[in-house]
Amino acid sequence: MPDPMTPNSPSAAALGVLISGRGSNLRAIADAVTAGEIPATVAIVVSNDAEAGGLALARERGIPTSVLRHRDFGTRADYDLALVAELRRHNVTLVCLAGFMRLLGPDFCAAFPDAILNIHPSLLPSFPGTHAQRQALEHGVKVSGATVHFVTPALDAGPIVAQAVVPVEDDDTEDTLSARILEAEHRLYPRAIRDVIHGEWQIGGRRVVFESPSRRV
- Per-residue binder mask for ligand GRF (CB under 6 A), 63-102, x = binder: -----------------------------------xx---
Rounded Cα gap, residues 125 and 29, in angstroms:
24
CB of 175 vs ligand GRF, minimal distance in Å: 12
Q: Verify binding: residue 57, ligand GRF, rule CB under 6 A.
A: no
Rounded Cα gap, residues 193 and 184, in angstroms:
14
Neighbours of 110 (CB within 10 A): 11
Q: Known catalytic residue: 120?
A: yes
Rounded Cα gap, residues 159 and 144, in angstroms:
18
Judged by CB under 6 A, the residue of 16, 23, 145, 190 near ligand GRF is 23
Q: For ligand GRF, which stretch binds (CB under 6 A), given 22-30, 32-40, 76-84, 190-198?
A: 22-30
Nearer residue to ligand GRF within complex by CB, 119 or 196: 119
CB of 12 vs ligand GRF, minimal distance in Å: 25
Spell 4-30 as b/e; 16+ CB within 10 A means b: eeeebbbeebbbbbbbbbbbbbbbbbb
CB of 167 vs ligand GRF, minimal distance in Å: 17
Phi and psi based region of residue 27 (left: phi greater than 0; alpha: psi -120 to 50; beta: remaining): alpha
Bond before 125 cis per omega within 30 degrees: yes
Q: For ligand GRF, which stretch binds (CB under 6 A), given 56-64, 118-126, 165-173, 207-215?
A: 118-126
Given 70, 90, 120, 139, which residue is catalytic? 120
Size of residue set near ligand GRF by CB under 6 A:
14
Q: Verify binding: residue 123, ligand GRF, rule CB under 6 A.
A: no
Q: Verify binding: residue 16, ligand GRF, rule CB under 6 A.
A: no
| Beta strands per DSSP E along the chain | 13-19, 40-47, 65-67, 94-97, 116-120, 143-150, 160-167, 201-204, 207-210
Q: Verify binding: residue 145, ligand GRF, rule CB under 6 A.
A: no
Q: Verify binding: residue 187, ligand GRF, rule CB under 6 A.
A: no
Q: Verify binding: residue 137, ligand GRF, rule CB under 6 A.
A: no
Rounded Cα gap, residues 13 and 204, in angstroms:
23
Neighbours of 1 (CB within 10 A): 4
CB 112 within 8 A of CB 95: yes
Positions marked active-site: 120
The site for ligand GRF (CB under 6 A) is made up of 19, 21-25, 54, 98-99, 119-121, 182, 185
